[in-house]
């Protein structure tokens, strides 16, 4: 279970940072939401492989693709949240800077990109699938067919920019996502403790 450090303004927080710190806490909570959404999509994917007997195969086949789309988009949202927190939101909270572990945040972002190097390309391929399929010469590795699907078990793949991009829809992927988010959230633990020590605003 992921723990989101409680970043809530304290009685010592500069007035101009009160709203910004609340917004930062909401963004950190959003990271946990992305993990939970990815887990829900993974469960849908697993259900599509062993569906209830009453569900038609044509429906469960679509479930697989719905699950993959959600996994891709949530990974992209997660990466975007990391970037926004680091490059935009923290600027508005200078009083927290001495209490944050910037190297831990950088490390988590680096690990996310190492585990999932195709996040951005997968997002673009998913969001513009119809256009890509209509112009396979621009996206298919062989210049012929820009088709998305499962060429290997539990590995969703789709061509983009003449390269086949892929994402494993597996428990291991979920474990890696949890790991990087827990690492990123850990960078805020000291700040949360200090704000609590100072006394939270009502």
* pLDDT tens readout for residues 95-118: 999 999 999 999 999 999 999 999
80: left (phi over 0), alpha (psi -120 to 50) or beta: alpha
Residue with tokens 């989101």: 4
190 and 101 in contact (C-beta within 8 Å)?
A: yes
* pLDDT tens readout for residues 158-182: 888 778 889 999 999 999 999 999 9
Look at 57 and 20; give whichever has higher pLDDT: 20
What average pLDDT does range 126-135 have in this prediction? 67
**If you count DSSP H runs as helices and E runs as strands, how many of each does the chain have, helices first?**
8, 3
Let me know how long the chain is: 202
Q: Could you tell me the pLDDT band of residue 136, with boundaries at 50, 70 and 90?
A: low
Q: Give the count of alpha carbons within 13 A of 117, CB side only.
A: 4
What average pLDDT does range 69-78 have in this prediction? 96
Residue 36 CA to chain centroid, in angstroms?
10
- Rounded Cα gap, residues 94 and 184, in angstroms: 18
* pLDDT tens readout for residues 142-155: 655 556 778 889 99
Q: Where are the domains of the chain?
A: 15-130+171-198
* pLDDT tens readout for residues 177-198: 999 999 999 999 999 999 999 9
Predicted local confidence at residue 173, as pLDDT: 98
Look at 119 and 132; give whichever has higher pLDDT: 119
């Amino acid at each position: 279970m992921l723990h989101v450090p409680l970043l809530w303004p304290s009685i010592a927080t500069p007035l101009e940072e009160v709203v910004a710190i609340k917004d930062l806490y909401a963004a950190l909570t959003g990271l946990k939401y992305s993990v939970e959404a990815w887990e829900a999509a993974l469960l849908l994917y697993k259900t599509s492989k062993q569906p209830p007997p009453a569900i038609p195969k044509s429906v469960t086949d679509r479930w697989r693709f719905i699950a993959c789309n959600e996994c891709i988009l949530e990974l992209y949202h997660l990466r975007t949240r990391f970037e926004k927190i680091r490059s935009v939101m923290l600027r508005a909270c200078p009083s927290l800077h001495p209490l944050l572990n910037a190297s831990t945040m950088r490390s988590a972002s680096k690990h996310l990109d190492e585990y999932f190097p195709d996040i951005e390309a997968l997002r673009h391929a998913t969001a513009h699938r119809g256009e890509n399929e209509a112009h396979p010469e621009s996206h298919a590795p062989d210049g012929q067919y820009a088709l998305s699907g499962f060429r290997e078990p539990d590995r969703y793949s789709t061509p983009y920019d003449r390269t086949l991009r892929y994402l494993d829809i597996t428990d291991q992927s979920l474990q890696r996502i949890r790991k990087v988010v827990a690492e990123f959230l850990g960078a805020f633990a000291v700040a949360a403790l200090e704000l609590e020590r100072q006394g939270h605003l009502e």
